[in-house]
Amino acid sequence: MKNNMNRPFEVVQVGLGPMGQIIANLMLDRQNINLKGVVEIRSEFIGKNLHEILGNELGSGVNVFSDLEGLLKKENIDVVFISTSSSLKNVVPIIKQAINANCNVISICEELSYPYIKYERLFKELDELAKKYEKTIIGTGINPGYLMDLLPIVLTAPCQKVNSIKVERIMNSSKRRESFQRKIGTGLSPEEFQDKISNKEITGHVGLKESMYMIINALGLNYDEVIEFPPEPILTNKDFTTSYGVKVRKGDVCGLKSKAITYLNGKEIIILDFIAYAGEHEEYDSVVIDGVPSIHQKIIGGVHGDLGTAAMVVNLIPRVIDAKPGLLTMKDIPVPCNTENIWKD
């Protein structure tokens, strides 16, 4: 039951895939958020309520609709949250619908986390639209959005000088949702992995360049070039079965590693290493800053990607409402934090 002594934030969610369901559950559990409805294209969900879909009793009054525009006309919504695609081009029509209905937008679309370089025209178009309606658009998540960009940016604050930054994220992918395990090629042969990466049937990690340019821009760094290398498969040395029942044979792909490097005068000034594979190995998130003073932060066990992404989205709701208008990135807003005890003014 929501607290009637305070005003909750009114939210609509678009997309109820695996990650969207985790986020919806967290929104239902937050006293300061009133989830007014969910929009989904899958017919088997439309017309049901979230209690039927998620098994969460708090969702019995939250229905699933097919029409975002119609829902926004009926409700006075503060924020539309979008969890549908990693591709900015696929998300743009939904963003425009939300802004035209006078709503702020938060999305876990990786390409929205820092769209200035790859999508300059789209960025300008969305930025102008958001400013026209005095609303805010932002892309966030645990990565990109926090671990490999915002966190290293903040960690440079006590440095008098920064020579280089290396960020490493090493994960045991067997603890993640099925869609993530499939996205990194789990269970494929090495040949199938290369074919599917080349044909973009699987994407691997999306967002390394976005994270890289956010760091570069925040610190005002000079650079010669940014290179994102093709994902490399990691092969298992034993047979195992995934959490979703797929048998992986010795020599098959159990994950991948992705790398991006920024160069200046032939030197590596920023290195981003993303490594995710199924296996019994150390998990951690690490930021090493070579500077004055030098800093090494290591998060033992790493931050759980799914739980962390859900928290980033939900905790950002009050921050986005208070932010300046426009298409912003995580470096452009007040310091994010847990906001479960912050209510609408």
- In tens, the pLDDT along 37-52 reads 999 999 999 999 999 9
Residue 300: how many CB atoms within 10 A of its CB? Answer: 9
Q: Residue 39's pLDDT is what?
A: 97
- In tens, the pLDDT along 306-332 reads 999 999 999 999 999 999 999 999 999
Round to whole Å and give the CA distance between 127 and 114: 12
- Same domain for 271 and 327, yes or no, is no
Q: What is the CATH number of the domain that holds 18?
A: 3.40.50.720
Cα angle vertex 130, ends 129, 133, to 5°? 90
Strands 253-264 and 225-228: antiparallel
Q: Residue 1's pLDDT is what?
A: 47
- Same domain for 137 and 117, yes or no, is yes
Mean pLDDT of the chain: 95
Indicate if the pLDDT at residue 32 is higher than 60.
yes
- Same domain for 134 and 268, yes or no, is no
* Assigned token pair, 300: 């033992």
Beta bridge partners of 100: none
Q: Residue 244's pLDDT is what?
A: 81
Distance, CA of 205 to chain centre: 11
End-to-end CA, the chain: 20
* Assigned token pair, 22: 């985790």
pLDDT interval class at 259 (50, 70, 90): very high
- Same domain for 57 and 184, yes or no, is no
Let me know if residue 316 belongs to a domain.
yes
Let me know if residue 83 belongs to a domain.
yes
- Same domain for 230 and 185, yes or no, is yes
- Same domain for 199 and 83, yes or no, is no
Strands 267-277 and 161-172: parallel
- Same domain for 128 and 228, yes or no, is no
As a whole-number percent, the residues of the chain with pLDDT over 90 amount to: 89
- Same domain for 110 and 194, yes or no, is no
Number of structural domains found in the chain: 2
Let me know if residue 337 belongs to a domain.
no
pLDDT interval class at 5 (50, 70, 90): low
- In tens, the pLDDT along 117-155 reads 999 999 999 999 999 999 999 999 999 999 999 999 999
Distance, CA of 157 to chain centre: 24
Provide the domain limits for residue 275.
150-302
* Assigned token pair, 344: 């609408």
| pTM of the full structure | 0.93
Round to whole Å and give the CA distance between 287 and 296: 6
- Same domain for 99 and 64, yes or no, is yes
Let me know if residue 279 belongs to a domain.
yes
Strands 253-264 and 267-277: antiparallel
Let me know if residue 345 belongs to a domain.
no
Residue 284 · residue 153 · CB < 8 Å = no
SS (H, E, C) the chain: CCCCCCECEEEEEECCCHHHHHHHHHHHHCCCEEEEEEECCCCCCCCCEHHHHHCCHHHCCCEEECCHHHHHHHCCCCEEEECCCCCHHHHHHHHHHHHHCCCEEEECCHHHCCCCCCCHHHHHHHHHHHHHCCCEEEECCCCCCCCCCHHHHHHCCCCCEEEEEEEEEEEEHHHCCHHHHHHCCCCCCHHHHHHHHHCCCCCCCCCHHHHHHHHHHHHCCCCCEEEECCCEEEECCCCEECCCCCEECCCCEEEEEEEEEEEECCEEEEEEEEEEECCCCCCEEEEEEEEECCEEEEEECCCCHHHHHHHHHHHHHHHHHHCCCEEECHHHCCCCCCCCCCCEC
- Same domain for 215 and 76, yes or no, is no
Round to whole Å and give the CA distance between 132 and 126: 10
Q: Residue 217's pLDDT is what?
A: 97
Indicate if the pLDDT at residue 106 is higher than 70.
yes
Residues sharing a CB contact under 8 Å with residue 222, sequence separation 6 or more, in sequence order: 264
Q: What is the CATH number of the domain that holds 182?
A: 3.30.360
- In tens, the pLDDT along 152-185 reads 999 999 999 999 999 999 999 988 888 889 999 9
- Same domain for 21 and 87, yes or no, is yes
Let me know if residue 102 belongs to a domain.
yes
pLDDT interval class at 246 (50, 70, 90): confident
- What is the residue whose two structure tokens read 């032939």? 266
- In tens, the pLDDT along 55-68 reads 999 999 999 999 99
